[in-house]
């Protein structure tokens, strides 16, 4: 019997208990032993809950119990769970988590601690919810050099942008609807400002480079300034607008960025709608591969946590190598990144645009203004040129 404790009986934690119990028979076959939830740690009581007898408020019951070999950390936040995670790993108990803040902030340190104690720190559920992406990068793609990851890593904003695209709706209206449906939080900042996607691309970037990409070094721009007019232009150009979390290695350095982008119908990311997430990986032998599915939600996320529980259960007493060093990766200044730009201009004249930007493609769609698409250039070059033009309303990267 392999005994598991679940830290935090919220949406994901209760999903973990449900998955372990509902799929007990097949999990037992796959592990070669029964896997049972012995404790649930939470500050609250859950009278009437099917598993109320498993609830404890005392973490020492769990950390001091030699029968517990695996812990699912689904508490969220980085204060209390950081202490609990460290103590669990030091006691040789593997930890499986959905907590992206924790992984983004302390991933390398906790992996090293797991290695030193012959156990594992696993975090498949921290990026893309139920979508397999951490293990594919660490195992299936280990023969590859990955040079680019582009992801739609936030379901809330993808839902909102899909609504804006389909209905011509304004940002404020779709935000209200997303809040009513329970997709967006009352304080939606983490999603709409791109901070959630930033933590997730920091994790993927760290795995891509096997060094720590600090989320604070990643440029982040959210979707709050996107308007129905932007979507009208996108439609005219056969494109859509997505919040893209990107990590890319070029001869100019290692870039990581979260921002809205105009995405063409030739990219599979353009077909990712509503709350779905997708991660498009480019690597040197395989070329492109894409990972798609539900990036959030109780059972989708819990499924990924339990997948990690099974991996940990099959490897008790053995650390599974995970290349993510504490050494800080040098993230290049985004001003050096070469890409194209979609630019809207109010009034102004096209001759002035051509004089400054050279060869551009003009787009007309909204009265009283026009837009143009530049050739590829660095952001530094773009800024210098844009400063010479008057009337620029906005810019979206391509
Ligand atoms: N708020 C997140 C999202 C939840 O919308 O994708 C999953 O991390």
Per-residue model confidence as pLDDT tens digits over 114-155: 999 999 999 999 999 999 999 999 999 999 999 999 999 999
Of 242, 264, 294, the residue at which a domain comes to its end is: 294
Angle in degrees, CA 113, 119, 125, rounded to 5: 90
Total domains, the chain: 3
Is 181 within a domain?
Answer: yes
**Pair (287, 356) in one structural domain:** no
Distance in angstroms (rounded) separating the CA atoms of residues 282 and 314: 30
Q: Are residues 307 and 260 in the same domain?
A: no
Alpha-carbon distance of 66 to 83, in angstroms, equals: 19
8 A C-beta contact, residue 332 and residue 307: no
Looking at residue 275, what DSSP letter applies?
T
150 shares a domain with 272: yes
Predicted pLDDT at 283:
98
Considering the domain architecture, whether residues 108 and 168 belong to the same structural domain is answered as: no
Residue 306 and residue 281 share a domain? no
- Bridge partners (DSSP) listed for residue 243: 260
Cα–Cα distance for residue pair 63/228, rounded to 1 Å = 53
> How many angstroms does the Cα of residue 163 sit away from the middle of ligand 1?
17
Are 147 and 35 contained in the same domain?
no
How much distance in Å is there from the Cα of 39 to the middle of ligand 1? Answer: 27
Shared-domain flag, residues 307 and 266? no
Positions of the chain with pLDDT lower than 70, given as ranges: none
Q: Is the CB of 165 under 6 A from ligand 1?
A: no
Rg (CA), the chain: 23
Q: For the domain that residue 262 is a member of, what is the CATH number?
A: 3.30.360.10
Ligand 1 proximity of 155 Cβ (cutoff 6 Å): yes
Length of the chain equals: 398
Q: For residue 320, is it within any domain?
A: no
Which one-letter DSSP state was computed for residue 35?
Answer: E
191 touches ligand 1 (CB under 6 Å): yes
Out of 294, 326, 354, a domain closes at 294
Q: Which residues are catalytic?
A: 200
Atom 8 of ligand 1, residue of closest alpha carbon: 296
Q: How far does the centroid of ligand 1 lie from the alpha carbon of residue 155, in Å?
A: 5
Structure confidence at residue 348 (pLDDT): 78
Rounded to whole angstroms, the Cα distance separating 146 from 27 reads 32
Q: Does some domain include residue 330?
A: no
* Cα 351 from chain centre: 42
Give the pLDDT confidence score for residue 74 in this predicted structure. 97
Phi, psi of 127 (to 5 degrees): -130, 125
The reported pLDDT for the residue numbered 123 is 98
Residues 213 and 280 in one domain: yes
102 contacts: CB under 8 Å, gap ≥ 6: 73, 77, 78, 81, 82, 85, 110, 126
**Burial of 180 (C-beta count, 10 Å sphere; 0-12/13-18/19+):** exposed
Best residue among 191, 203, 258 to mutate for probing ligand 1's pocket (most ligand atoms within 8 Å of CB) is: 191
Q: Whose CA is nearest to atom 2 of ligand 1?
A: 154
Q: Is residue 342 part of a domain?
A: yes
Domain containing 360: what range? 335-397
Residue 171 and residue 223: Cα distance in Å, rounded? 8
pTM for the predicted model, two decimal places: 0.97
Q: Which atom of ligand 1 is nearest to the CA of 156?
A: 5
Does residue 120 share a domain with residue 208?
A: no
pLDDT for position 385? 98
Q: CB–CB of 174/227 below 8 Å? A: no
Q: List Cβ neighbours of 5 (8 Å cut-off, separation of 6 or more).
A: 37, 38, 39, 40, 41, 62, 65, 68, 70, 71, 72
Q: What is the pLDDT of residue 347?
A: 86
């Amino acid at each position: 019997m392999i005994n598991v404790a679940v830290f935090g009986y919220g949406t994901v934690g209760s999903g973990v208990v449900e998955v372990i119990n509902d799929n007990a028979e097949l999990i037992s076959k796959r592990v070669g032993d029964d896997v049972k939830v012995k404790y649930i740690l939470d500050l609250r009581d859950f009278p009437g809950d099917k598993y109320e007898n498993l609830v404890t408020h005392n973490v020492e019951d769990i950390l001091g119990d030699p029968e517990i070999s695996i812990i699912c950390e689904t508490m969220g936040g980085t204060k209390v769970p950081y202490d609990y995670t460290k103590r669990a790993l030091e006691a040789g108990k593997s930890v499986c988590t959905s907590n992206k803040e924790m992984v983004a902030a302390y991933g390398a340190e906790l992996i090293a601690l797991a290695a030193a104690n012959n156990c594992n720190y696993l975090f498949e559920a921290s990026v893309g919810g139920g979508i397999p992406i951490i293990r594919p990068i660490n195992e299936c793609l280990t023969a590859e050099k990955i040079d680019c990851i582009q992801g739609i890593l936030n379901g809330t904003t993808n839902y909102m942008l899909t609504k804006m695209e389909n209905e011509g709706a304004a940002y404020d209206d779709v935000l209200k609807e997303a809040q009513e449906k329970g997709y967006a939080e009352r304080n939606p900042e983490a999603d709409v400002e791109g901070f959630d996607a930033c933590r997730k691309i920091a994790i993927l970037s760290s795995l891509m480079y096997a060094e720590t990409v600090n989320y604070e070094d990643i440029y982040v721009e959210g979707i709050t300034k996107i308007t129905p007019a932007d979507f009208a232009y996108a439609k005219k150009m056969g494109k859509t607008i997505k919040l893209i979390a990107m990590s890319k290695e070029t001869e100019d350095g290692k870039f990581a960025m979260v921002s809205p982008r105009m995405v063409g119908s030739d990219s599979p990311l353009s077909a990712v709608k509503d709350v779905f997430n997708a991660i498009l990986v480019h690597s040197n032998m395989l070329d492109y591969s894409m990972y798609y599915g539900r990036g959030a939600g109780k059972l989708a996320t819990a499924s990924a946590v339990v997948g990690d529980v099974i991996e940990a259960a099959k490897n008790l007493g053995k650390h599974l190598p995970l290349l993510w060093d504490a050494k800080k990766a040098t993230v290049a200044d985004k001003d050096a990144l070469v890409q194209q730009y979609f630019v809207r201009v109010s009034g102004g004249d096209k001759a002035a645009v051509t004089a400054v930007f050279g060869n551009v493609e003009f787009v007309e769609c909204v009265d009283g203004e026009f837009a143009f698409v530049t050739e590829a250039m660095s952001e530094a070059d773009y800024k210098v040129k844009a400063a010479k033009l008057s009337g620029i309303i906005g810019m979206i990267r391509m």
